[in-house]
Amino acid sequence: MASPFRSAEIRREFPAEHEPPPFELADVVRLYGDAYRAQHHPSFEQGRALHAIETCRTTALGGHVDQCDHCDHVEISDNSCRNRHCPPV
């Protein structure tokens, strides 16, 4: 039986079936979030959501190092906001 960890390693090695989008929602919020807040005055909860989107997977939330046990390959990743609605990368 194949290990689930091995299949995860294989998925990382090959390119995705589709090209990633040219920008993400976080890019839009980072560019226009301040103007949106000034014009629309979001509620406290909406402001928290905008802040989480802005800071998710950035150095503002810290990072971590993943190292392969087999080949010692190292990947440095920024931490996510850990919101249950945040999509995995």
What is the tens place of the pLDDT at every residue in 60-75?
888 989 898 889 899 8
Contact predicate 22/52, CB 8 Å? no
pTM for the model: 0.65
Within the chain, what is the greatest distance between any pair of CA atoms? Answer: 57
pLDDT confidence of residue 85: 75
- Per-residue confidence at 1, pLDDT binned at 50, 70, 90? very low
Higher pLDDT, 83 or 46: 46
State pLDDT tens for residues 19-50.
Answer: 778 888 889 999 999 999 999 999 999 999 99
